[in-house]
A = this chain, B = another copy of it.
Amino acid sequence: MQTKFTLLEIAAHIGAELHGDPSVVISSINTLGQASDGQITFLDNPRYRKYLPDTKASAVILTKNDQDACVTNVLITNNPYLAYAKIAALFDRKPKITAGIHPTAIIGEHCQIDPSASIGPYSVIGADVIIHAGVCVGAHCVVNEESVIGAHSRLWDNVKVYQHVIIGEHVIIHSGAVIGCDGFGNANEQGKWIKVPQLGGVRIGNEVEIGANTTIDRGALGDTIIEYGVRLDNQIQIAHNVQIGAHTAIAACTGIAGSTKVGKYCLIGGGVGISGHIEIADKVMITGMSGVTNSIKQAGIYSSTMPVMPQQEWWKALAYFRKIAEIVKKWRKLEKFIKNNSIESEK
């Protein structure tokens, strides 16, 4: 892989307007505060603008507005963070992938595995699995019976895909993720739980990314569905028959209960809990650590994030909160008394 580029090559790659020396050689990328000679950097978050006048970087990607404050070569673009993403892809040093099935991989009967796919050591592929072109399955993966991995998708090491799971193209799944495990279905027979067999599957759209140790349950009846372009961070739990709309991004440690439907273009923070059997509209944003117990019908930002206070103050506030009903009752009595009284005195 090439590891050095001229500024001209980089400008062309991201479609940016170049001001400065096009022949400068860039060998890596770094933050505005830490970049040095030979490195390119970017200014996106305004809180880092203070580093701009003193940057040692060989080039800075920024918007037209910040151009004058910069003392080195610049690449002008409307979306510096996006430009950074594209340049970072040039310098990505991920391990190389070699096509072919590792001799220790175990392949079930009647599988269709494209010759351009790579199956890592000790991975176990069940019967009737289809693995398309350019797929990379890491070490210690399992893909169970009748599942499908779409072209150019990557399963990192130790991804477990249960049976009858359909994964799209250009999907990335990180280590420890489990796709298609049983949903939490339990019927009660005189106090004892009877397992409800989970007969559905999971369908994951193209260009989805799924974080490490995230779990996605198979449907009870019908499928759990993750639509096109969704981004799931680490340690997310998606219960059976949930549907996540296209282009929605969900941060780590969030859990979504069964049969809930999340809209498209939603942004859901980390540590959020969403109840089952509800619907969340498109373009809803939920701040971290919030609880969602009812359907949200309108786009917008919603929150129940409770930030910390010094413990003594928190305990005081909490104590009043816990007797707020009583306090308001007293207050209303007083209000009534005053109103009666002042009416009296006006008489």
Contact = CB atoms under 8 A, between A and B. Distances in A.
Nearest to A145: B95
A68 interface: no
A82 interface: yes
A178 interface: yes
Contact of A212 (B215, B271, B304, B334): B215
B303 A315 contact: yes
A334 B247 CA distance: 49
Contact of A196 (B84, B184, B328): B84
A342 interface: yes
Interface residues of A, number: 134
A308 B315 contact: no
A157 B252 CA distance: 24
A10 interface: no
A273 interface: yes
Nearest to A301: B311
Contacts of A215: 176, 211-213, 234-235, 252
A126 B265 contact: no
A29 interface: yes
Given A82-B194, A331-B331, A184 B252 contact: yes
B235 A252 contact: no
A213 B160 CA distance: 11
A273 B275 contact: no
Contact of A197 (B88, B255, B277, B290): B88
A43 interface: no
A85 B192 CA distance: 13
Contacts of A270: 237, 255, 257, 273
Contacts of A251: 184, 257
Contact of A176 (B213, B255, B311): B213
A142 B144 contact: no
Contact of A199 (B91, B162, B309): B91
Contact of A85 (B95, B195, B300, B301): B195
Contact of A233 (B106, B184, B286, B331): B184
A289 B311 contact: no
7 contacts: A34-B221, A89-B197, A106-B122, A176-B215, A192-B247, A217-B234, A302-B310
